[in-house]
Amino acid sequence: MKKTVFFGALATAALASGVASAATLDEVKARGKMNCGVTTGVPGFAEPDANGVWQGFDVAVCRAVAAAVLGDSDAVEFVPTTGKTRFTALASGEIDMLARNTTWTFSRDVDLKFEFTGVNYYDGQGFMARRDLGVTSAKELDGATICIQTGTTTELNLADFFRGNGISYEPVPVETGAEAAQQYTAGSCDAYTTDASALAAQRANFEDPTAHIILAEIISKEPLGPLVRHGDNEWGDIVRWTLNALIAAEELGVTSANLAEMAAGTDNPEINRLLGSEGNLGGMLGLDSDWAERALAVAGNYGEIFDANIGESTLINLSRGLNAQWTEGGLLYAPPFR
């Protein structure tokens, strides 16, 4: 009940303040810090390291935005949110942006009044099961007990998938990924379903990752991306184009190694426009001309961030797949900087 009242108060506060806060950019500048909503801890995507510093793929987007806006990639207050609290936190103004494995759906965009600023990871819902269970396909999971994170799109996809295939299951709703992993490893559910990237991330933390397999079926489209409140288009543009800058930089071959050299001016006008040596794209955003350079200086371009946090050299071991550049058969396609 206490929790309920708390949500009620939050929701009311959300509606009271959602209208008032229009100029997020000014607010963030005045505060000197950006509040970024992240998960409560998914390895590779957002998790505090041994020193308590947040690291990860989603965290890198927050840091890039903070660097572009405030000039300091550490001027970010990371606010851990659960599947349940994330939207209220964003709507109430507690956080300025949400970078938390959040699926871009119609109702979230339109009905919940948020604005998705792009996709930083193309994902799909998968299943993980113990290898010795002998299951190779999700269609063999008839009658199985399945752990799901509640308050996410996954429980709707799951219901649809099992109904569509005419098989039954027992749902075990859990609140956080950590709880799900605890129940799954204790054997109180046969399979665990969530976005395939998160499955890979959590499996990396298990005692014996090889004892678990991720089943072949991907049962949904889950475009994950950062989002902001509806109605503040200037702030939305900043987040959208910072993400696009990271993606475009990879396509254009701008890396953290050659960034300083490129920023001085190149033969490629698009790189020049992106990094501010030509034109005034930064000014149009309400920032200065070095905004993209600062964002790229934090951890490099999209590809570098991917490789460092969740790529094949890390424990999480995700291949680029759909998340390769469009020139390499993937879906990443940043609109032109012009």
Partner 1 sequence: MTTLADQPVKALNGSFKLSMLLNDTRYRSLTFQFIALVAIIAFMAFVGGNLVRNLTEAGLNISYAFLGEPSGYDINQRPIEYDSQSSHGRAALVGLLNTLIVAFLACVTATIFGVIAGVLRLSNNWIVSKIMAIYVEIFRNVPVLIWILIIFSVMINVAPSPRDFRGDDPVASMMLFDSIAVTNRGVYLPKPVLGDGSFLVFGVFILSIIGIFAFRSYSRKQLFDHGRLIPTFWPSVGLFFVPAILMQLILGGPISLEYPALAGFNFRGGITILGSLIALWFALAIYTGAFIAENVRAGILAISKGQTEAAGALGLRPNRIMSLVVLPQALRVIIPPLISQYLNITKNSSLAIAVGYMDVTGTLGGITLLQTGRAIETILLLMLFYLTVSLLISFFMNIFNNRMKLQER
The binding site for partner 1 (CB under 8 A) comprises 1, 3-4, 7-8, 10-12, 14-16, 18-19, 83-84, 87-88, 107-108, 111-113, 133, 141-145, 150-152, 155-156, 158-160, 162-163, 169-175, 182-183, 186-190
Nearest approach, Cβ of residue 183 and partner 1 (Å): 6
Which residue do the tokens 């396509």 mark?
A: 251
Q: What residues does 227 pair with on adjacent strands?
A: 98, 116
Q: Which is nearer to partner 1, 63 or 229 (CB)?
A: 229
Least Å from the CB of residue 145 to partner 1: 6
Q: Which residues pair with 76 in a beta bridge?
A: 34
Closest CB to partner 1 among 51 and 107? Answer: 107
Residue of 314, 311, 298 whose CA lies nearest to 68 = 298
- Minimum separation from the CB atom of position 24 to partner 1 (A): 16
**Which is nearer to partner 1, 53 or 159 (by Cβ)?**
159
The set of residues, in sequence order, having a beta carbon less than 8 Å from that of 115 and lying 6+ positions away, is 109, 227, 228, 229, 230, 233, 236
Task: Report the C-alpha gap between 299 and 255 in whole angstroms.
Answer: 9
Task: Quote the least distance from Cβ 228 to partner 1, whole Å.
Answer: 16
Q: In terms of CB distance, is 112 or 264 closer to partner 1?
A: 112
What single string gives the DSSP state of each residue in 7-66? HHHHHHHHHHHHHH---HHHHHHHHTSEEEEE-S-BTTTBEE-TTS-EESHHHHHHHHHH
CA distance 165 to 162: 5
For the chain, how many residues are written?
338
Backbone angles phi, psi at 101, to 5 degrees: 35, 45
CA distances to 61, 91, 229 from 112, in Å: 23, 9, 9
Find the shortest distance in angstroms from Cβ 155 to partner 1: 5
In the complex, the smallest distance separating the C-beta of residue 190 from partner 1, rounded to whole angstroms, is 5
Q: State the minimum distance, in angstroms, from the CB of residue 130 to partner 1.
A: 9
- Shortest distance, CB of residue 232 to partner 1, whole angstroms? 13
Q: Which is nearer to partner 1, 32 or 134 (CB)?
A: 134
Please say which residue, 44 or 83, places its beta carbon nearer to partner 1: 83
**33 versus 130: smaller Cβ distance to partner 1:** 130
322, with CB counted inside 10 A (0-12, 13-18, 19+), is: middle
Give the H/E segment covering residue 282.
Answer: helix 281-285
Minimum CB distance to partner 1 smaller for 170 or for 312 = 170
Q: Map tokens 């961030």 to a residue.
A: 305
| Distance (Å) of CA 134 to CA 131, 150, 211, 215 | 6, 27, 11, 11
